[in-house]
């Protein structure tokens, strides 16, 4: 395209503003834009021929002599300005900026984007190939199939044998709800647990280790022994636990406790027999002593917590040797007192539990062995002192009772039972209740500063 564009003369009806002179036009026309090439075009442009000028244009004027350059000076290039009223307007084509080549930063950005895209695709293909590859990363592990068999006398073996016969009891009563443990006694659905677990119960639910839950009814309970029996009906496949002999237990024997501490069913803990024949009393919430439990207990360090009550304490042959019933915590005044087990747990010997359970199943209640005397529970000396008077002003020694027939008198202090030391009234009751009604006992009695031995045959009284 040419740098100049020829236009036709302006129409006759065009006119210039009045008073516009050639000099004024020169001053009014702006200079060419720098960098557009207008300077060159201005210099190359020739004056328009006279024939192209419109008839209405003003007559041309002679150039004054002063405008002519001196001969010895270089000729000055006349500055030609664009006259929009002229017959031949000076025009140039603005082609915009000259295209430039690709810059360095564009090349770098394009290369970086290409590299990232290629890396992402390559990584994805690599992961896909790794997943599809038959060779996988595996850490070292003992070869061979796992041996799930356990020795019968190991904790795992004992637990596997006993767990199917252990149940969790959920009890709801007028004073709230609670959780305890029990274990199956026979195929008829009788279950042994603690009396304090089902006391004041209105609804009892039994949950087996399989997760099956059924309703149960209370057969009977005895607060003096802290034992109770409940029964489920219509349950097949019951697995009663085998009862051992608590008289054969020795200190240091390994034992396993199973229960539901804080409603965590089927919890298994292990320990040893820490002591035997521990006199333990529990209960007494009523204040009249009718709900106090007297237990000649087995002590164990197997962890026992609330919810374990009524659960079995098992020996190395998975035989029940005790019924978990109580724990000893730190003193209440101690700020560091723990609410759970501190390794002092107590279980009712199974021999005592067996006799009480048999009586409850047979008659709905249990009997207590007695000697027919009233003890002075406020006596602070060593031994158990026979009171001066009984309840309601009656004699402290029941007439024609076991104690009266043995020769016991008011004020006597009983210091030993079958040669075992007795330190107070509670211990005497516990030692007596560890036997059956009709069992013979030898009592060591202190009277008027002299000791003597008396033979007594235990009587029977209905429990509470």
166-184 burial, b at 16+ Cβ within 10 Å, e below that, comes to: bbbbbbeeeeeebbbbbbb
Of the residues 309, 325, 341, 396, only one is catalytic, namely 309
**Sequence-separated contacts (24+) of 138-146 with Cβ below 8 Å:** none
As a whole number of angstroms, the distance between CA 246 and CA 178 comes to 29
Q: Contact at 8 Å (CB) between 210 and 204?
A: no
Of the residues 83, 226, 376, 412, only one is catalytic, namely 226
Query: Using CB atoms within 10 A of its CB, is residue 68 exposed (0-12), middle (13-18) or buried (19+)?
Result: exposed
* Active-site residue, 242 included: no
Which three-class secondary structure state does DSSP give residue 104? helix
Residue 256: enclosing H or E segment and its boundaries?
strand 254-259
- Tokens (6 digits) for 328: 């000893």
Judged by phi (left if over 0) then psi (alpha if -120 to 50, else beta), residue 443 lies in beta
* Active-site residue, 154 included: no
Query: Using CB atoms within 10 A of its CB, is residue 198 exposed (0-12), middle (13-18) or buried (19+)?
Result: buried
Of the residues 196, 246, 291, 368, only one is catalytic, namely 196
* Active-site residue, 426 included: no
Residues comprising the chain, all counted: 464
Write the secondary structure of 279-340 as one string of H (helix), E (strand) and C (coil).
EEEECCCCCCCCCCEEEEEEEECCCCCCCCCCCEEECCCCCEEEEEEEECCCCCCCCCCCCC
What is the torsional sign of CA 364, 281, 292, 259? negative
Comparing C-alpha atoms, which of 259, 267, 271 is closest to residue 310? Answer: 259
Residue 169: enclosing H or E segment and its boundaries?
strand 166-173
Contacts of 79 (CB under 8 A, 6+ apart): 26, 42
What is the torsional sign of CA 355, 357, 360, 366? positive
Q: Provide the 8-state DSSP code for 86.
A: S
Residues carrying an active site annotation: 196, 226, 309
């Amino acid at each position: 395209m040419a740098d100049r564009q020829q236009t036709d003369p302006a129409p006759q009806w065009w006119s210039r503003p009045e008073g516009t002179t050639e000099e004024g036009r020169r001053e009014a026309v702006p200079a060419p834009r720098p960098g557009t090439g207008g300077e060159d075009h201005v210099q190359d442009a020739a004056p328009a021929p006279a024939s192209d000028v419109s008839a209405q244009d003003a007559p041309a004027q002679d150039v004054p002599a002063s405008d002519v350059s001196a001969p010895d000076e270089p000729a000055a290039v006349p500055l030609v300005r664009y006259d929009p009223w002229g017959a031949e307007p000076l025009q140039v084509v603005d082609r915009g900026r000259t295209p430039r080549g690709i810059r360095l930063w564009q090349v770098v950005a394009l290369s970086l984007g290409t590299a990232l895209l290629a890396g992402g695709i390559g990584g994805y293909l690599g992961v896909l190939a790794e997943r599809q590859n038959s060779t996988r990363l595996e850490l070292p592990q003992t070869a061979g199939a796992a041996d799930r068999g356990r020795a019968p006398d190991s904790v795992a073996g004992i637990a596997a044998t006993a767990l199917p016969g252990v149940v969790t009891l959920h009890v709801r009563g007028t004073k709230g709800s609670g959780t305890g443990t029990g274990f199956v006694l026979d195929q008829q659905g009788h279950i042994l647990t603690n009396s304090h677990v089902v006391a004041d119960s209105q609804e009892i639910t039994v949950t087996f280790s399989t997760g099956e839950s059924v309703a149960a009814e209370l057969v009977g309970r005895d607060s003096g022994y802290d034992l109770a029996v409940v029964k489920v009906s219509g349950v097949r496949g019951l697995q009663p636990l085998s009862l051992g002999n608590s008289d054969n237990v020795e200190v240091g024997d390994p034992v396993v406790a199973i229960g539901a501490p804080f409603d965590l069913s089927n919890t298994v803990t292990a320990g040893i027999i820490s002591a035997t024949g521990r006199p333990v009393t529990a209960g007494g919430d009523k204040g009249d002593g009718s709900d106090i439990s007297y237990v000649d207990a087995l002590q164990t360090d197997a962890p026992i917590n609330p919810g374990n009550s009524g659960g079995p304490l098992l020996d190395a042959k998975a035989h029940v040797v005790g019924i978990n019933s109580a724990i000893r915590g730190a003193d209440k005044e101690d700020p560091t007192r723990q609410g759970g087990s501190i390794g002092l747990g107590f279980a009712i010997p199974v021999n005592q539990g067996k006799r009480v359970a048999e009586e409850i199943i047979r008659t709905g209640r249990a009997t207590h062995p007695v000697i027919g005397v009233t003890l002075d529970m406020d006596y602070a000396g060593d031994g158990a002192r026979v009171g001066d008077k009984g309840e309601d002003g009656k004699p402290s020694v029941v007439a024609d009772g076991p104690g009266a027939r043995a020769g016991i008198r008011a004020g006597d202090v009983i210091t030993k039972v079958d040669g075992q030391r007795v330190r107070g009234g509670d211990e005497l009751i516990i030692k007596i209740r560890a036997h059956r009604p009709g069992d013979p006992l030898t009592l060591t009695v202190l009277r008027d500063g002299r000791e003597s031995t008396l033979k007594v045959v235990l009587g029977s009284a209905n429990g509470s």
